[in-house]
Amino acid sequence: MTRAVIDTSKCVGHGQCAMMAPDVFDLDAGGYAQTIVPELTGDQRRDAETAAMACPEQAIRVEN
C-alpha cells in the first residue's frame, strides 16, 4: 500500500500540497495539511511526490 504521510510537527500551513495535489491533500480548519485518501493510485502518487518535493518544510513523505 502506498500512502502519503504528513509530519504534523513540521507542517506550518503553507498549503502548497493542497494546491498541487487536491485529490490527495486538504487543509484542516486550522489551515494545516491533512491526507484525504488512505491509499494512493498511480496519478495520486505522482502528485503526492511532486507536492512532497515542493513542501518548504519537507513535511510530506510517500511510503510504500
> Cα–Cα distance between 17 and 33 in angstroms, integer?
7
**Per-10-residue mean pLDDT for the chain, 64 residues long?**
97 97 98 98 97 97 96
Do the Cβ atoms of 15 and 31 come closer than 8 Å? Answer: yes
pLDDT in the model for residue 8? 96
Backbone phi and psi for residue 50, each to the nearest 5 degrees, phi listed first: -65, -45
Cα atoms in the 13 Å half-sphere on the side-chain side of 52: 17
